[in-house]
Structure 1
Amino acid sequence: MGLLNRLLAHEDPPPPIETYLREQHVDFSVHHHLPAYSAQRLAAVEHIPGRMVAKVVIAFVHEELVMLCLPAPCRVDLFKLMNAVGTDSVRLAREADFAEAFPDCEVGAMPPFGNLYEMPVYVDRQLAADERIVFQACRHTETVEMAFTDFMCLAHPILCDLC
């Protein structure tokens, strides 16, 4: 067997988010693609509108980590975040601040399930406009697509305006 065939035959175990979704008996699909290191790039490689891709941003609220999810083309509006959380003690986190909080994920490829990592999840209302949501599955080369309603039931996020 040639090297290429051995590499293609090797499969990593599924990311924990896939196992979790299977255990919850929800319908979802996994897409494998070229590496995508930003949400906008993910939308491009998946050939879908950026508004369907959940960009995960980590922030501090009162020095506690929180997860923010917004459409790929959007940027966090800190004033809207302050309004959503009811305090002005907010700041965006750097990758070095949160990398250890997601030991089973590549840095920057966290799925929007902060509840699995003991952190609250705030979701921008614009993501609710589509029936489906797409997000990274702990790896820059794997994406999950699922019903937005199933995501809401499992992640228990707070819907608000973030961008």
Structure 2
Amino acid sequence: MHLRHGGKQQLSEASMSISPQLETFLAESCTNYEVVSHPYSERAANTARSACIPDRTMAKAVVLKDGNGYVMAVMPSRNRLMLAWLNMRLDRNLKLVQETTLQDLFPDCQPGAIPAMGIAYGMKTVWDDALNTVADIYIEGGNHRELIHMHRNEFQKLMYGQPHAAISCDIEEEEAYRSC
């Protein structure tokens, strides 16, 4: 693990393993964060277990598109995106992006390890209000072995000006919300 504060860093073996574009964005934003290494895992919920962190603190990214462009939705890993809610809140007609398109959008990331920080890639990002309820937030670092860990205040600072709303629900509550 290594810490980065305000763009200054203490280097370790893993220091260059996160997405270069994400690393540059965090440095230019003077963000306090740390890189957390974990055993190889795929899917955000599995990564939370692998890294021994609460799944509500692991943020996952879902990339969407409509005729007006791309949007990244960010929510806790255990939640399901409620696309109808998101479309209503943004007054859009967003659909899931095909996996094959993601490599073009995130060329410095491994497939399935997209950082939940679309703004680092020039993409509008909408984030779920559930992330306001946790003190720490973890996002994929662009690979299947490192996470970015930051305090909620740092995450909110980075998301300033990006919309947020209730856009997802806990997987156990999904059926109840779908009937609404």
TM interval, short-chain normalised: 0.7 to 0.9
Pick the aligned partner of 1:13 from 2, 11, 16: 16
Q: Distance in 2 between matches of 1:56 and 1:18?
A: 17
What displacement does 1:162 show?
1.2
Which residue of 2 is the match for residue 144 of structure 1? 148
Give the 5 Å matches for 1:93-104.
93-104=97-108
Counterpart residue number, 1:43:
48
Is residue 55 of structure 2 the alignment partner of residue 55 of structure 1? no
Instruction: Quote the offset at 1:11 in angstroms.
Output: 5.7
Identity %: 27
Q: What one-letter code is carried by the residue in structure 2 that aligns with 1:95?
A: E
Q: Which runs of 5+ in 2 are unaligned?
A: 1-11, 169-180
Cα 1:155–1:14, aligned 2, differ >3 Å: closer, same or farther?
farther
Distance 1:26 1:64 in 2: 27
Q: Write out per-residue CA displacement over residues 63-114 of structure 1, whole angstroms, 9 at most, x where no aligned residue.
A: 5211010111111111111112113x22111211222011111122121221
Q: Which amino acid in 1 is paired with 2:123? A: M
Distance in 2 between residues matched to 1:138 and 1:155, nearest whole Å: 19
Structure 2 distance, partners of 1:123, 1:58, is: 12
Contact 2:55 2:76 in 1 (8 A): yes
Match runs of 1:24-35 below 5 Å = 24-35=29-40
Structure 1's unaligned 5+ residue stretches are 1-8
Give the conservation status (yes or no) of the 8 Å contact 2:72–2:124.
yes
Quick one: distance in 2 between partners of 1:76 and 1:109? Answer: 18
Q: Tell me by how many angstroms 1:62 deviates.
A: 2.8
The 1:134–1:12 alpha-carbon spacing in structure 2 relative to 1, beyond 3 Å, is closer
Q: Separation in 1 of the partners of 2:135 and 2:66? A: 29
TM-score for both structures, normalised by structure 1: 0.85
Amino acid at match of 1:71: P
Q: What's the secondary structure of 1:48's corresponding residue?
A: coil
For 1:28, the aligned partner's letter is Y
Matches of 1:77 and 1:105, distance apart in 2: 26
**Inter-partner Cα distance in structure 2 for 1:112 and 1:130:** 16
1:86 partnered with 2:86: no
* 2:123 is equivalent to residue 119 of structure 1: yes
* Amino acid paired to 1:99: Q
Paired AA for residue 84 in structure 2: F
1:75 match: secondary structure: strand
Q: Cα distance 1:11–1:39, how it changes in 2: closer, same or farther (>3 A)?
A: closer
Residue 76 of structure 1 is matched in structure 2 by 81
Structure 2 Cα separation of the partners of residues 18 and 46 of structure 1 = 20
